[in-house]
Amino acid sequence: MIKINTAEAKARLSHYLERVEGGETVVVCRRNVPIAEIRPLPKRPRERRPVGIDRGMTI
């Protein structure tokens, strides 16, 4: 987990977003008090739709 202040977050947001993409969590602090957490979203497998699910429907 990485802790950064708001000024650092503003100045280097793209850098920290790359680290989040790599699996790290970033905590943003204001005056050393945590105010936000940026973390990667869980990976979800794409659900496959059954063949013919829209059969008989008119668009």
Q: What is the pLDDT of residues 13-48, one digit of tens each?
A: 999 999 999 999 999 999 999 999 999 998 887 777
* 34 φ, ψ (degrees, to nearest 5): -60, 130
Residue 48: helix, strand or coil by DSSP? coil
Query: What is the model's pLDDT at position 14?
Result: 97
Distance (Å, whole) CA 39 – CA 48: 27
* Between residues 22 and 50, the one the model is more confident about: 22
Query: What is the model's pLDDT at position 59?
Result: 66
Query: What is the model's pLDDT at position 48?
Result: 79
Distance (Å, whole) CA 53 – CA 49: 7
Total number of residues shown for the chain = 59
Distance (Å, whole) CA 9 – CA 36: 11
The CATH class, in words, for 2-38 is alpha beta
